[in-house]
């Protein structure tokens, strides 16, 4: 494809978009990296993996301004496996099914945003926000932390920012005939973001059955001192407590990131684990990032935490990553 082609190229026509000034965007990400895992029960393994820093994906966004200042928009995002057609995470890698990463319809305006569909949980968004690795690479908090990433059949209301303060509330339908509770999910978050300081807290409650309920709460904070950003996070989930301290240091155009984290049993089993990770992400340009990372987990008393990455749960107690992410 060259300039000549570009000049002569037909534009993609969007059916029926004339009157309402449609804006539709196509976007995507292809992430491929080499992952060396060791310390697993079956031995070491060297992989080419899709989605090490961030899951490979393809997405569509469309939005329309309604006459009364209200905006309606949709986002459909599917995972894909850029390495293989035979992937243990399911054929669409993260997200599970076609358009299973995000599928939502949202109304937004001065009142904030109300969205419906398959969406990220508030606990995931909060965990992602205070993890210096941002839910990717070997050092990700989610190797130990427990936030459920997405919720089906959900309604989310997010307030506008009141001087840096925002809040959200989530309700997901259980959709179990005859039960008003089974399968439903509640959640919410509060965040404060002003200058260098960010603080956030989130809660998620999953009513697995009429008698079984999983509760997850996390709180995090970060402060950007210029020369470095410090991160701290605590999670209390049914039966466990998890802790994280991290740092992000701008070095050149890139960012060095490091964190230590702990997972602790609240009961008597003490199947605890601690993780240390370090990584570097370098933006070659606005659309291409190079990355490398290493993390190790010490499992105690039979704990079986593994070092994964943005797409894989991993097989071993340590992993090294190196790769590229192209965004378009």
Q: Which of residues 264-293 bind a second copy (CB under 8 A)?
A: 284-288
The stretch among 145-153, 187-195, 197-205, 292-300 that binds a second copy (CB under 8 A) is 145-153
- Check residue 53 for interaction with a second copy (CB under 8 A): no
The stretch among 91-99, 131-139, 269-277, 295-303 that binds a second copy (CB under 8 A) is 91-99
- Check residue 211 for interaction with a second copy (CB under 8 A): no
- Check residue 169 for interaction with a second copy (CB under 8 A): no
Which residues, at least 6 apart from 9, have a Cβ–Cβ distance to it below 8 Å? none
- Check residue 210 for interaction with a second copy (CB under 8 A): no
Q: Of the candidates 160, 173, 213, 266, which one interacts with a second copy according to CB under 8 A?
A: 173
How many whole angstroms separate alpha carbon 147 and alpha carbon 173?
Answer: 19
- Contact status, residue 261 vs residue 105, Cβ threshold 8 Å: no
How many whole angstroms separate alpha carbon 201 and alpha carbon 188?
Answer: 8
- Which of 201, 276, 186 lies closest to 235 in space, CA to CA? 201
Distance (Å) of CA 324 to CA 10, 232, 279, 298: 31, 28, 13, 28
CB of 73 to a second copy, least distance (A): 8
Q: Which of residues 55-84 bind a second copy (CB under 8 A)?
A: 56, 58, 60-64, 66-67, 72, 74, 76, 78, 80-84
The 7-46 contact track toward a second copy, x by CB under 8 A, reads -xxxxxxxxxxxxxxxxxxxxx-x-x----x--x-xxxxx
The stretch among 96-104, 132-140, 201-209, 252-260 that binds a second copy (CB under 8 A) is 96-104
Which residues, at least 6 apart from 132, have a Cβ–Cβ distance to it below 8 Å? 139, 229, 231, 246, 247, 248, 257, 258, 259
The 103-132 contact track toward a second copy, x by CB under 8 A, reads xxx----------xxx--------------
Length of the chain counted residue by residue: 328
């Amino acid at each position: 494809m060259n300039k000549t082609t570009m000049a002569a190229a037909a534009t993609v026509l969007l059916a029926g978009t004339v009157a309402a000034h449609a804006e539709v965007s196509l976007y995507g990400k292809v992430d491929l990296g080499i992952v060396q895992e060791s310390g697993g029960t079956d031995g070491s393994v060297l992989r080419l993996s899709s989605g090490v820093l961030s899951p490979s994906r393809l997405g569509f966004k469309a939005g329309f301004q309604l006459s009364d200042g209200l905006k309606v928009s949709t986002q459909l995002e599917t995972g894909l496996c850029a390495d293989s057609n035979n992937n243990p995470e399911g054929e669409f890698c993260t997200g599970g099914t076609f358009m299973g990463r995000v599928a939502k319809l949202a109304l937004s305006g001065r009142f904030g945003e109300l969205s419906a569909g398959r969406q990220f949980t508030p606990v995931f968004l909060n965990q992602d926000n205070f993890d210096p690795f941002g839910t990717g690479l070997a050092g990700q908090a989610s190797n130990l932390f427990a936030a459920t990433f997405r919720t089906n059949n959900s309604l989310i209301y997010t307030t506008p920012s009141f001087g840096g303060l925002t809040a959200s509330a989530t309700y997901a339908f259980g959709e179990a005939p005859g039960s008003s509770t089974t399968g439903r999910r509640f959640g919410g978050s509060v965040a404060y973001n002003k200058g260098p300081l960010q603080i956030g807290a989130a809660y998620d409650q999953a009513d697995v059955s009429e008698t079984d309920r999983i509760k997850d709460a996390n709180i995090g904070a970060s402060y950007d001192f210029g020369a470095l950003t410090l991160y701290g996070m605590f999670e209390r989930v049914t039966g466990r407590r998890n802790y994280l301290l991290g740092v992000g240091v701008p070095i050149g155009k890139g960012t060095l990131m490091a964190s230590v984290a702990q997972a602790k049993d609240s009961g008597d089993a003490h199947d605890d684990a601690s993780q240390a990770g370090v990584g570097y992400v370098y933006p070659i340009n606005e659309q291409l990032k190079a990355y490398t990372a290493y993390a190790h987990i010490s499992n105690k008393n039979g704990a079986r935490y593994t070092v994964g990455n943005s797409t894989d749960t991993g097989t071993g107690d340590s992993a090294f990553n190196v790769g590229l992410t192209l965004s378009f």
